Every structure is written in C-alpha cells, then in structure tokens.
C-alpha cells in the first residue's frame, strides 16, 4: 500500500485541483466581512492566516474568475460574480421572491424596519431587510449573521429548532450586547416557550438600547423555515400591536411558500 503521508502525498495535496487549494481560496474569501469589505494584499494575508506569497498567487485566479475585484487603489473586494452565484442559493432566493411583496406591504404600512431571516446552525442569516424612513438604526444587513438568542427572528427560529440545536445555542458563551441582553439560559428557555405558545417572540433592547423587535415564524409543510420581524424604536408602540401585524404577514408568506410554483 502506498505511503499517503510521505513526500508524494504532500506534492499531490499542493496540486491546483486538490482540496487544500480550495480550502485556501475559501480562507481568503472568508477574510472579508462587513467591517473589512476591502483589503490590501498584506491585510488579506494577515486576516486569512496565509503567507503573502500564497495569497498573491490565488488572488490572480480569484479576480480572473470574478470572485474578487481590485479597486484603483489596489485594494481587493468581493466581486459581482460571487454575488451572482450566492444569489442562486435556494433557501434565500425562492423565499425572498415569494416573501418580498408581503415584506414591502408591511414596510409601507408601518414605515419601520422589516426583516426576513433563516437559521443556519446556531446563527441567524438575514436574507432581506427593508429600512423604513426615519426608522431606528439596526446592526443587521442582508447576508449578515447574528446570534439566535438576541434577535426577534433568532428567538423564533431557535424556539422551533431541534432540541440539540437549542442546547448548543444555550450552552454559550452568550455574548452581551447591551445591559438588556438576556444571557441566562433559564430565562431564554422561558422566552422560547412563550414564543411557541404565543406565536411570536419579542427582543427588547437586547441588541441596541433603542430598539424593540417582534418576530413571527414562516411555515412550510409543517416546519418553520424562516422568520419575519418588525424592528421599531423602543417605547414608540407596544409589542402586542406589532405582533398582530407581523403574524399576519408571516401567515401570508407561509401561504405563498406552500402554494404551487407557477
């Protein structure tokens, strides 16, 4: 049997078509974030943990394919080709297309922030956000991630997640964003139970001290596949009043998701 740990194996692992090459490309792409949307070669090397020479070689291929673009100042940013591919993700694309008319209606009625999110592991991924005119500023963005335990949409998704996901999320560590952030697992379990009982969840000043979020689940085939929320300025209205609007929109989106696709 050939030695799979010797020099021949190491040479094979460095060939262009091998998995480690793909892994290094993903490390480079994963270095970008909302806080670092553009970076120089040296910054990419530092954030990805890869040598400058390796990053330099791979940047050529990534920019040629369109995954990255280079600005006139020599800084690299995510390219439109990568965005085009990402937009094909079925959990985001089909959901967003069917939900958007109802999200827009909710936005027009309230003039507040409207958000649509799905769960991936123990995180929330936002697939749509409509900012209301004069609405309270929020920290979320389309494509952004957040902990399940602090946002309204996250609490809804966690409340309907499998038991092992709930245990993993509540095991922590639970990050504190404000003095109002709930980090006690027992209190969070009560909040999840209330979300299942009442059909909506409330996140009050958990992310920022001026925001209140109310969210409801989107169903398909008996399963919760997403959550929709309204985020308003704390004290501007009651959570109960918001819940009626959010739950109505969530039910409409659920019906649209269950309807046959034309």
Tens-digit pLDDT profile for residues 142-184? 888 899 999 999 999 999 999 999 999 999 789 999 999 999 9
Average pLDDT score, the chain: 86
pLDDT for residue 8 is more than 80: no
pLDDT the model gives residue 32? 87
- Whether the predicted pLDDT of 235 surpasses 90: no
pLDDT of residue 19: 45
Q: Which residues contact 259 (CB under 8 A, 6 or more apart)?
A: none
Higher pLDDT, 126 or 8: 126
pLDDT over 70 at 125, yes or no: yes
| pLDDT at position 66 over 60 | yes
Q: Tokens at residue 167, please?
A: 């245990």
Q: In this predicted structure, what is the pLDDT of residue 213? A: 95
The CA-based diameter of the chain, rounded to the nearest angstrom, is: 72
Pick the closest to residue 152 from 165, 167, 135, 140 (CA basis). Answer: 140
Beta bridge partners of 228: 116, 216
Average pLDDT over residues 12-19: 42
Percent of the chain with pLDDT over 90: 62
Q: Is the model's pLDDT at 4 over the cut of 70?
A: no
Whether the Cβ atoms of residue 20 and residue 14 lie closer than 8 Å to each other:
yes
Nearest to 204 by CA among 228, 237, 173, 171: 237
Q: What is the mean pLDDT of residues 63-74?
A: 90
Does residue 212 surpass a pLDDT of 60? yes
Q: Is the pLDDT of residue 210 over 60?
A: yes
Output the pLDDT for position 144: 85
Give the domains, in start order, of the chain with CATH numbers. Answer: 7-85 (1.10.10.10), 90-258 (3.30.450.40)
180-208 pLDDT tens trace: 999 999 999 999 999 999 999 999 999 99
Q: What is the pLDDT of residue 90?
A: 59
Contact 56, 66 (CB under 8 A): no
C-alpha triplet 170, 192, 239: angle, nearest 5°: 125
* Tens-place pLDDT, residues 86-121: 767 655 557 888 999 999 999 999 999 999 999 999
The confidence band for 225, taking pLDDT boundaries of 50, 70 and 90, is very high
Q: How far apart are CA 41 and CA 56, in angstroms?
A: 7
The residues, ordered by sequence, that sit 6+ positions from 91 with a Cβ below 8 Å of its Cβ are 118, 127, 225
Phi, psi values for residue 198, rounded to 5°: -90, -20
Which is higher by pLDDT, 134 or 2?
134
Q: Would you state the pLDDT for residue 7?
A: 43
Report residue 34's pLDDT band, with 50, 70 and 90 as the boundaries. Answer: confident
Number of H helices and number of E strands within the chain?
A: 10, 9
Alpha-carbon distance of 91 to 249, in angstroms, equals 19
* Res 72: pLDDT: 87
């Amino acid at each position: 049997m050939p030695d799979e740990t010797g020099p021949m194996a190491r040479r094979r692992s460095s060939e262009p078509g091998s998995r480690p090459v793909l892994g290094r490309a993903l490390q480079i792409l994963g270095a970008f974030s909302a806080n670092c949307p553009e970076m120089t070669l040296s910054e990419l090397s530092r954030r990805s943990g890869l040598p400058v020479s390796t990053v330099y070689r791979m940047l050529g291929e990534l920019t040629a394919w369109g995954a990255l673009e280079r600005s006139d100042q020599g800084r690299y940013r995510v390219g439109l080709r990568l965005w085009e591919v990402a937009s094909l993700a079925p959990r985001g694309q089909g959901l967003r297309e069917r939900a958007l008319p109802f999200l827009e209606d909710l936005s027009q009625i309230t003039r507040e922030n409207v958000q649509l999110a799905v769960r991936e592991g123990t995180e929330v991924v936002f697939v749509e956000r409509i900012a209301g005119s004069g609405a309270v500023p929020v920290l979320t963005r389309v494509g952004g991630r957040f902990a399940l335990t602090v946002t309204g949409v996250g609490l809804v998704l966690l409340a309907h997640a499998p038991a092992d996901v709930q245990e993993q999320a509540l095991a922590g560590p639970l990050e504190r964003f404000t003095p109002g952030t709930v980090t006690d697992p027992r209190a969070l379990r009560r909040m999840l139970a209330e979300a299942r009982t009442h059909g909506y969840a409330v996140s009050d000043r958990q992310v920022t001290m001026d925001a209140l979020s109310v969210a409801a689940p989107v169903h398909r085939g008996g399963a919760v596949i997403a959550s929709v929320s309204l985020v308003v300025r704390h004290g501007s209205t009651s959570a109960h009043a918001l819940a009626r609007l959010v739950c109505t929109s969530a039910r409409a989106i659920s019906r649209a998701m269950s309807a046959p696709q034309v």
